[in-house]
Amino acid sequence: MKLAFSTLGVPGLPVADVVQLAVAHGYQGVELRAHPEEPVHPGIGADERAAVAAKFAAAGIEVLGVAGYARVAAPGEDAPVLAEIRELLRLARDLNAPFIRVFPGGDPGADTEESDARAARRLGAAAEYAAGLGVRVLLETHDSHRTGADAIRVLGKVGHHHVGSLWDVMHTWLGGEDPAETYPALSPFLGYTQVKDIASAEDTTPLPLGAGVLPLAACVDTLVRNGCLDGWLCWEYEKRWYESAAPLEGLLGAGREYLDRLVSGTGKGGGDATRSRPS
């Protein structure tokens, strides 16, 4: 499996430095957080986009995805959400990235069927535009739709190859799913998988991979056993939201080695089998 990390772990770092970190620590790709406070976002122009793409290409590092913040299940009009998705898709195309990330973002108090239908309608409307650009829209397991069972209610209604799933292992675990339950739901749609580690359901401060409670070994083993060896694992270390967390730069090498061991089957993550789901 190919390995990437998210720039959420190195907020605001210049693109050249991000590329250097990937090369130095043996990662094949990078997921770019597409927010105005970051160097790469939909507001940058054509020349800047070309320069970013050239930096990654010259180093042999892939831009795995553009992590946007469009919320497809959120209440409101469709047009602004679709416009945001189209901007992300154009950015991904210009950076030679195969994926963009969107959130569900449904209102916690909303009717589930209405929220699902809204998300499916918007994703369906974006699908042909995405196909024309050669980019897939991935719905992350997150917030209002944090489990595979939640995501499949939306994705099953869309039924388009250019709309898929992004498996965030933390959120499916927090939602009470084991990897053996999540994978069958998401597998027909899976784009790539985000890994991370935390101390507990109550304390989600990011930890080095393998130092926390998330079932990373079970997740990777499930992917490997099901023939996903040509897929991607992306380490999303949420430093942006936790200032007290250790700098990602000093953890990248050990994190890559840890994931390599899981993929090869020589490391089992220090107790995955006994890690209980949150109640």
pLDDT of 164 strictly over 70: yes
pLDDT of 76 strictly over 50: yes
The Cα 241–Cα 212 span in angstroms is 18
pLDDT of 27 strictly over 60: yes
The Cα 138–Cα 90 span in angstroms is 15
In this prediction, residue 279 carries a pLDDT of 57
The rounded Cα 215 to chain-centroid distance in angstroms is 17
pLDDT of 270 strictly over 50: no
pLDDT single digits (tens) 33-59: 999 999 999 999 999 999 999 999 999
Q: Both tokens of residue 161?
A: 């190859």
Helix (H) or strand (E) holding 192: strand 190-195
Mean pLDDT computed over 108-113? 87
pLDDT of 78 strictly over 60: yes
pLDDT single digits (tens) 198-221: 999 999 999 999 999 999 999 999
Phi, psi of 252 (to 5 degrees): -60, -40
In this prediction, residue 110 carries a pLDDT of 82
Identify the burial level of 165 via C-beta atoms within 10 angstroms of its C-beta, where 0-12 means exposed, 13-18 middle and 19 or more buried. Answer: buried
In this prediction, residue 145 carries a pLDDT of 97
The Cα 167–Cα 187 span in angstroms is 10
pLDDT single digits (tens) 215-264: 999 999 999 999 999 999 999 999 999 999 999 999 999 999 999 999 99
In this prediction, residue 208 carries a pLDDT of 98
Q: Both tokens of residue 246?
A: 């250790």
Mean pLDDT computed over 155-180? 97
What count of Cα atoms within 13 Å lies in the side-chain half-sphere of residue 232?
A: 26
What are 163's strand-pairing partners?
137
What are 101's strand-pairing partners?
67, 138
Q: Both tokens of residue 272?
A: 């995955």
Residues 69 and 44: beta-carbon distance below 8 Å: no
> What is the pLDDT confidence band of residue 275, given thresholds at 50, 70 and 90?
low
Q: Both tokens of residue 239?
A: 């430093």
pLDDT single digits (tens) 118-133: 999 999 999 999 999 9
pLDDT of 197 strictly over 60: yes
At the topology level, CATH places domain 2-272 in TIM Barrel (3.20.20)
Q: Provide the mean pLDDT of the chain.
A: 95
In this prediction, residue 271 carries a pLDDT of 41
Amino acid found at 10: V
